Structure 1
Amino acid sequence: MTVGRTKQERERLLAALENPVPAGGVGPRVVQIPRNLLCIDPAAYVCSRLAGELADEWVEYTAATALGRQTRSYRKAIDSLCRYVDTALGPAAEKASLSDADLFDTLVAWETALPEDLGPGSTIPSALASAMHLLIVRRDDHQDRAVAPALARLGRRPVLIGTGESTERDEFTRKEKRALVRAAWQSVHATRKRLDDGWALAATGRHPDQGSWTSIPDLLWGLAHEQITPCDMRDTIPALRQWPEPLRALAARPDGTSSRSMARSQLCRRLIAQLYPTTLDLQAFRVLLMDATGHASEEVTAFGESDVEFLPKGVRLTLLKQRAGWRRHRAFRDQAPVAVAPEQDDEPDGPVILDMPRREASEVVRQLLDITARVRPKAADITDTLFVHATVQSGYGLVFDRWNPNATSAGFGHWIEMMGVEINGDRHIGRLRKSTKVEKAIVTEGRISAAADDHTEETFAGHYAQGTTLRIMSGRTIATAQQHWFDQALNRVDGPTILDDAEDEVDSDLLQATGLSFQEAEDIMNGQLDMGVSHCRSPRQSPFGRPGELCPVAPLSCLECGNAWILPSNLPQLLLFGEHLERVRSLLPPHAFDRVWGQRWTNLRAVLADRTPTELAQAREHIETGRVALDLPLSAYTEFDA
């Protein structure tokens, strides 16, 4: 049995919910989920005893775990099994029970037959079988509830059918994503203008009793100052034929016509939309936040005002991933404005126009806070999200509530259509998340460990490693293998990357241009990766140690490591290290020195040979004034002192 479809049926289910049937009792089992009631009535099946046993576990498990809408799968699994048992056993189904080992063959037959009624690759059969296994195991865990040992073993085994193949959506193309971001900014600016104009118009009005119930400024004034309600408008506004043209145009359909029955409700919604953001307005912010942060829809719509901390150059957000139960603090730095080349029709000497702040999370959050500023105080009980809006319900009630991104006529697909964005394929917001993953896979050159920074590698490979991402990862694997054998053939020795500021000053942009990521460049410039004789782009990914552990040989082996980046500021330390190697060279036999220190000595001499006399003189001056010292581990000395 499903949802109560009549008032009498709903009242019956509510009564059953308030007076639940005890485990093993007689009567319907009812579970409440958001906006719905689900019911299993064992009396509807011949195998009523079996249905009652499973329904008891269903009710208790739903209450213990707060499954929400997922509880439908368990109800569907019970209904499917009981119908199968009724058909397979006939009148004998009346005695069917989980305590009866003879039910084993029927359970196996039901489970293996599940895929027959669904399309190939469907994941539903596996989900239903898994739900049934869980209910059986849960009942077996109760000491006072009997389950046949054979059935208990079946419940603890993996399901007998495959999990199916989920149809993964491919990402948006780069052109589609750019169009979405551009449309989102256009929507944000249009929303801001509409609200500013609405409040400015409301400021020119007065109470409709003193002015007119057909004057838009007066109606806006009354709604803005909470002196009237949509119900007052419904009861007081005259008939449609008496409306002035501006009021009639505001409530008109897209084709310009008006409906007598819907004109008042349409007018109320349009007036409220001039004062407060709507569901469609907030779709744009979801797009922009997903693009700016790279996080999932459920995360960027689930942080409140207390979860926002503005930084001098960005914003820090506290994000909650509900499915995984993760609460994470993420900082997003601002980027420099992107210069846009002028169009051909523009004056060649005209000013360069700066693009919208396309990927600045701080700017998006500021805009969202500003646009929802008048709604949040009216929905003070909602503190876990900034996505709140005003809506007029069918009964003319004005409600300030959290938004529903999947609203019937205001979902992501409707927003795309309204903004005129051309999209091929499924209009699903999850594709935007996959687009971000593709960008990350490109930046990380296909390394799963780097691209899956907010997932396990297994989850990333299962949900995101398709399409473009898979091709990038495959290409990276092939290129890495080819390069490995090429290096082996040449007996190549990795060495440091050397930057010279003879012409340009070393800065973050120059470091990024040489292959470093933005964060690595920033850390080097801030001195966080300074190892003495060089900087290290990844101290925990040393070729001389285990992944994840700090490099065990820094700074002695930095001069023969591919992770090392030598900046002009390292020159004094390099001179001191050269003096140290000179002492070592005088103590060791030539063959012993060449075997241990030969490559480092060669690389060091090559680095110093590229320095000008002026640079070397300045570096020695730093050494002589005592502003620079060489820090080496004890192992660099004890070997030779002994």
Structure 2
Amino acid sequence: MAVIDAEGAIGHRHPVFKRLYTLRRESGLPNDRLIHDLHGRRHLLAADLVPLMVLLSLDTGLEIEAIKDLRSDCLKNSAGGYVEIEYCKRRSRGAEWKRLRVRDGASSTPGGLIRKVLQWTVPARSRLATGTLLAHFAWGRLTPRVLATKELVASWTERHGIRDEEGKPLRLNLTRLRKTHKAAWYRRTGGQLDRFVVGHSVSVAANHYADIPALRHIHEATIADAMGDALDAALHPCVLSSGDEAAVRADPDEAVGLPVSGHAAVNALFSGQQDVWLASCGGFHKSPFGAEGDACPSPFWGCLECSNAVITARSCPRSCPF
């Protein structure tokens, strides 16, 4: 450990390491991960970067490439339990550098997690004189570059027994974590795009992040609710069959569900004196679409969602096409 502190790393051929290796073997101790176990006491290892990047991406929605390129001074404007993460999005030509405001505090928050990583990488960053955040030990040396290979990802998911929705070993694709984060946020907000589109235009967010199979049930439920609302609106007018109309005419005082009451008002309703285009109107100057006392401002199809309308057999030739 003294050699690692002094030189930053220790190689397989170093005399001190060879001596330790021999003593452990003679004592019956395993040496399979000795080089990693030693450096893991001072530096982040390549295998440590996978869970760190997964957690940070799921918490913030940052793309993996942006996380790999984070700088050691990426935290800006900390205030009120929040902090801004400055990151580089290379595809945004002319506006590559962006900021994302996230929670800040304990290590369970994105800001707190980055502060922990800053603490863990001090020795490696000092030795390499680099400004990159994720300096670590890999391939026998310290490196500022993140090379999260598919093998490292597969090893991590296998080591922890992570399964997919069908119970099969998860094939984790780091580039799709942003969609996972967006989908979770979409569910929490009920599909509200105003906060979902952070970092994108509305069209990009809708087409690339909202239009995915995992969110199909939300869209189908929204359509079903909209159809239900439309049906409820269409059922507002009172629709009377010929038999119902005859019963009301026979006993107007017992009529239930009509927008008017009383013998004279009911007779006037059925006499045709108050007919509008699609129905007989129980309150042309008491319209729910306008001020009381004023003539109804709604176009003729508004009768289909008006509580004042009474549709009878007499008006069916006009209303049936709708």
1:484 deviates by 4.6
Aligned to 1:402: 145
Aligned to 1:451: 196
Supply the distance in 1 between the matched residues of 2:177 and 2:58 (Cα, whole angstroms).
7
Supply the distance in 1 between the matched residues of 2:26 and 2:234 (Cα, whole angstroms).
79
Seen in structure 2, the aligned counterparts of structure 1 residues 224 and 314 have a Cα distance that, compared at 3 Å, is same
**Out of 322, 325, 330, which is 2:100 matched to?**
330
The reply on whether 1:412 has 2:192 as its aligned counterpart is no
Give deviations 1:528-568, integer Å, cap 9, x for gaps.
xxxxxxxxxxxxxxxxxxxxxxxxxxxxxxxxxxxxxxxxx
Supply the distance in 1 between the matched residues of 2:191 and 2:176 (Cα, whole angstroms).
19
| Aligned amino acid, residue 251 of structure 1 | N
The reply on whether 1:225 has 2:6 as its aligned counterpart is yes
Seen in structure 2, the aligned counterparts of structure 1 residues 474 and 308 have a Cα distance that, compared at 3 Å, is same
Supply the distance in 2 between the matched residues of 1:313 and 1:447 (Cα, whole angstroms).
24
CA contact (8 A) 1:317 1:329 kept: yes
**Out of 43, 48, 52, which is 1:276 matched to?**
43
Aligned to 1:433: 178
Supply the distance in 2 between the matched residues of 1:429 and 1:302 (Cα, whole angstroms).
15
Aligned to 1:422: 163
Supply the distance in 1 between the matched residues of 2:13 and 2:117 (Cα, whole angstroms).
31
After TM superposition, the structure 1 = structure 2 runs for residues 99-248 of structure 1, keeping only pairs within 5 Å, are: 220-226=1-7, 229-230=10-11, 233=14, 237=18, 242-245=22-25
Supply the distance in 1 between the matched residues of 2:49 and 2:9 (Cα, whole angstroms).
26
Q: Secondary structure at the match of 2:85?
A: strand
Aligned to 2:86: 318
TM-score with structure 1 setting the length = 0.32
| Aligned amino acid, residue 184 of structure 2 | E
CA contact (8 A) 2:68 2:146 kept: no
Supply the distance in 1 between the matched residues of 2:145 and 2:27 (Cα, whole angstroms).
29
1:477 deviates by 3.0
The reply on whether 1:364 has 2:110 as its aligned counterpart is no
Seen in structure 2, the aligned counterparts of structure 1 residues 373 and 478 have a Cα distance that, compared at 3 Å, is same
1:222 deviates by 1.8
After TM superposition, the structure 1 = structure 2 runs for residues 453-602 of structure 1, keeping only pairs within 5 Å, are: 453-464=198-209, 465-484=211-230, 486-487=232-233, 490=236, 591=293
CA contact (8 A) 1:445 1:473 kept: no
Q: Secondary structure at the match of 1:402?
A: coil
Give deviations 1:153-205, integer Å, cap 9, x for gaps.
xxxxxxxxxxxxxxxxxxxxxxxxxxxxxxxxxxxxxxxxxxxxxxxxxxxxx
Seen in structure 2, the aligned counterparts of structure 1 residues 321 and 470 have a Cα distance that, compared at 3 Å, is farther
Seen in structure 2, the aligned counterparts of structure 1 residues 461 and 229 have a Cα distance that, compared at 3 Å, is same
| Aligned amino acid, residue 97 of structure 2 | R
The reply on whether 1:375 has 2:142 as its aligned counterpart is no
Give deviations 1:458-479, integer Å, cap 9, x for gaps.
4344433222212212322332
Seen in structure 2, the aligned counterparts of structure 1 residues 485 and 334 have a Cα distance that, compared at 3 Å, is farther
The reply on whether 1:386 has 2:127 as its aligned counterpart is no
- Unaligned runs of at least 5 residues, structure 2: 238-290, 298-322
**Out of 265, 290, 303, which is 2:70 matched to?**
303
Seen in structure 2, the aligned counterparts of structure 1 residues 270 and 478 have a Cα distance that, compared at 3 Å, is same
Seen in structure 2, the aligned counterparts of structure 1 residues 463 and 274 have a Cα distance that, compared at 3 Å, is same
CA contact (8 A) 1:445 1:476 kept: no
Aligned to 1:47: none
Supply the distance in 2 between the matched residues of 1:477 and 1:484 (Cα, whole angstroms).
10
1:246 deviates by 7.9
1:317 deviates by 0.6
Give deviations 1:571-598, integer Å, cap 9, x for gaps.
xxxxxxxxxxxxxxxxxx9958xx9xxx
Seen in structure 2, the aligned counterparts of structure 1 residues 447 and 590 have a Cα distance that, compared at 3 Å, is closer
Give deviations 1:54-81, integer Å, cap 9, x for gaps.
xxxxxxxxxxxxxxxxxxxxxxxxxxxx
Seen in structure 2, the aligned counterparts of structure 1 residues 236 and 251 have a Cα distance that, compared at 3 Å, is closer
CA contact (8 A) 1:314 1:332 kept: yes
Supply the distance in 1 between the matched residues of 2:62 and 2:9 (Cα, whole angstroms).
41
Seen in structure 2, the aligned counterparts of structure 1 residues 370 and 298 have a Cα distance that, compared at 3 Å, is same
1:223 deviates by 1.9
Supply the distance in 2 between the matched residues of 1:447 and 1:474 (Cα, whole angstroms).
15
1:402 deviates by 2.0
1:486 deviates by 3.0
Supply the distance in 2 between the matched residues of 1:287 and 1:246 (Cα, whole angstroms).
40
1:281 deviates by 0.9
Aligned-pair RMSD on alpha carbons?
3.6
Supply the distance in 2 between the matched residues of 1:466 and 1:278 (Cα, whole angstroms).
34
CA contact (8 A) 2:69 2:133 kept: yes
Supply the distance in 2 between the matched residues of 1:328 and 1:458 (Cα, whole angstroms).
19
Supply the distance in 2 between the matched residues of 1:590 and 1:427 (Cα, whole angstroms).
63
Supply the distance in 1 between the matched residues of 2:123 and 2:8 (Cα, whole angstroms).
16
CA contact (8 A) 2:43 2:121 kept: yes
- Unaligned runs of at least 5 residues, structure 1: 1-219, 253-265, 336-355, 492-588, 596-642
Give deviations 1:222-271, integer Å, cap 9, x for gaps.
2212298426615983596x53448763523xxxxxxxxxxxxx644432
Q: Secondary structure at the match of 2:7?
A: coil
Seen in structure 2, the aligned counterparts of structure 1 residues 418 and 442 have a Cα distance that, compared at 3 Å, is same
TM-score with structure 2 setting the length = 0.60
Supply the distance in 1 between the matched residues of 2:228 and 2:43 (Cα, whole angstroms).
59
Seen in structure 2, the aligned counterparts of structure 1 residues 300 and 478 have a Cα distance that, compared at 3 Å, is farther
Seen in structure 2, the aligned counterparts of structure 1 residues 246 and 444 have a Cα distance that, compared at 3 Å, is farther
Seen in structure 2, the aligned counterparts of structure 1 residues 471 and 449 have a Cα distance that, compared at 3 Å, is farther
Seen in structure 2, the aligned counterparts of structure 1 residues 243 and 479 have a Cα distance that, compared at 3 Å, is same
Seen in structure 2, the aligned counterparts of structure 1 residues 225 and 314 have a Cα distance that, compared at 3 Å, is same
Aligned length: 235
